[in-house]
């Protein structure tokens, strides 16, 4: 029987123990609730140390969604995790940690002509770039932790990199996101999603309701030297992956801005390539070009 975390007291002890066994029955992947594993996941690249309730390493996206549903039904906090290289404590919490970096690691397709790739959230940046390089493509944001940073974590952090002023951050390179809300509801966020899907529209309205009253203040306080794409500005594309991404608040017309949506199921990322280099005519080597505004 796993040793119960010290912070889990009273009735919670029973709930915690039940979760450890029920989750193990629910999925093929790994359920690691013992102290050793909890301590392994108690740190990230930040100064913080927070012991999680336990760790789940799903064997697939569908299993991850099952775990999300279970945690929602049993009122257990959940924290998705990639490479754990975040600097501000985002990847540690008193929660069930859902580690995507082990098994959800497939580059599902790479379309050189469209310069897009469909990747699972645990795909590491260097892995994606290795797959894209033969086509003369690469993913623009170049975080220093590219050997370990996952696309899920980059999207969660809206990661940038040394060249982000020129090439943009992760948000500027998202074409579509398949996401799961905390209760396991699956949604696809892409351009125009809010017009097709009432659930996405409701999310967008909810975000807009939070951000709109603050828009004037955000505009007034944002430093002038920030590049235009980082400023608060009305933007079409309600419900798009960009609008729903974990980046800075940007009230859009008709609505969406920033939300954190829990476990992402599948991300389609855009690789920057040479404009005009169509199918069958890849540029000779990898290169990056400024993203379109
Ligand atoms: C030495 C060093 C240099 C760095 N350089 C840079 C840099 O140049 N630019 C930069 O932007 N950052 C940098 N970072 C920060 C960090 O490495 C990046 O932000 C990286 O992209 C995070 O990826 P990760 O997979 O480690 O994410 P994690 O740390 O695992 O997670 C980051 C956040 O995303 C969430 N998340 C993870 N996976 C999912 C998912 N599937 N669904 C939903 N949410 C998810 C987590 O809950 C967490 O909030 C640096 C860090 C270090 C230690």
For 77-97, the pLDDT digits (tens) are: 999 999 999 999 999 999 999
* Residue 154 CA, closest ligand 1 atom number: 21
All structural domains of the chain: 6-99 (3.30.43.10), 107-263 (3.30.465.10)
So what's the pLDDT on residue 111? 87
Residue ranges lining ligand 1, Cβ < 6 Å: 44-45, 79-87, 90-91, 100, 121, 143-145, 148-150, 152-154, 156-157, 159-162, 263-264
* Residue 153 CA, closest ligand 1 atom number: 27
So what's the pLDDT on residue 228? 64
CA angle (41 as vertex; 90, 52 as ends), nearest 5: 75
Q: How far apart are CA 174 and CA 187, in angstroms?
A: 15
Closest C-alpha residue for ligand 1 atom 32: 153
Pocket test for ligand 1, best of 149, 163, 241, 245 (most atoms within 8 A of CB): 149
So what's the pLDDT on residue 219? 87
So what's the pLDDT on residue 223? 85
So what's the pLDDT on residue 234? 47
* Residue 159 CA, closest ligand 1 atom number: 11
Beta-strand runs (E) in 21-173: 30-32, 54-57, 78-81, 96-99, 107-111, 116-119
So what's the pLDDT on residue 254? 20
So what's the pLDDT on residue 229? 56
Element (H, E) at 37: helix 35-40
Contact 78, 134 (CB under 8 A): no
Ranges of residues in the chain with a pLDDT under 70 are 1-2, 227-293
So what's the pLDDT on residue 169? 86
């Amino acid at each position: 029987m796993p040793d119960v975390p010290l912070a889990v007291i009273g009735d919670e002890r029973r709930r915690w123990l039940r979760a450890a066994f029920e989750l193990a029955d629910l999925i093929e992947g790994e359920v690691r609730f013992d102290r050793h594993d909890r301590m392994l996941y108690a740190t990230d690249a930040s100064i913080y140390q927070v012991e999680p309730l336990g760790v789940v390493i799903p064997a697939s996206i569908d299993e991850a969604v099952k775990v999300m549903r279970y945690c929602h039904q049993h009122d257990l906090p959940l924290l998705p995790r990639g490479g754990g290289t975040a600097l501000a404590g985002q990847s540690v919490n008193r929660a069930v940690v859902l580690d995507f970096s082990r098994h959800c690691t497939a580059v599902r397709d790479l379309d050189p002509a469209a310069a897009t790739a469909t990747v699972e959230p645990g795909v590491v940046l260097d892995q994606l770039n290795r797959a894209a390089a033969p086509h003369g493509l690469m993913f623009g944001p170049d975080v220093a932790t590219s050997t370990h940073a996952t696309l899920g974590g980059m999207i969660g952090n809206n990661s940038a990199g040394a060249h982000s002023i020129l090439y943009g951050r992760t948000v500027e390179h998202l074409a579509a996101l398949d996401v799961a809300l905390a209760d396991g509801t699956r949604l696809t966020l892409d351009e125009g999603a809010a017009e097709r899907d009432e659930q996405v529209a409701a999310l967008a309205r909810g975000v807009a309701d939070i951000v709109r009253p603050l828009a004037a203040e955000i505009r007034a306080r944002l430093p002038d030297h920030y590049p235009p794409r980082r400023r608060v500005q009305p933007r079409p594309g309600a419900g798009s992956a960009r609008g729903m991404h974990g980046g800075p608040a940007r009230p859009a017309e008709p609505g969406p801005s920033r939300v954190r949506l829990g476990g992402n199921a599948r991300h389609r990322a855009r690789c920057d390539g040479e404009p005009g280099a169509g199918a069958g005519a890849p540029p000779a080597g990898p290169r990056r070009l400024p993203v379109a505004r």
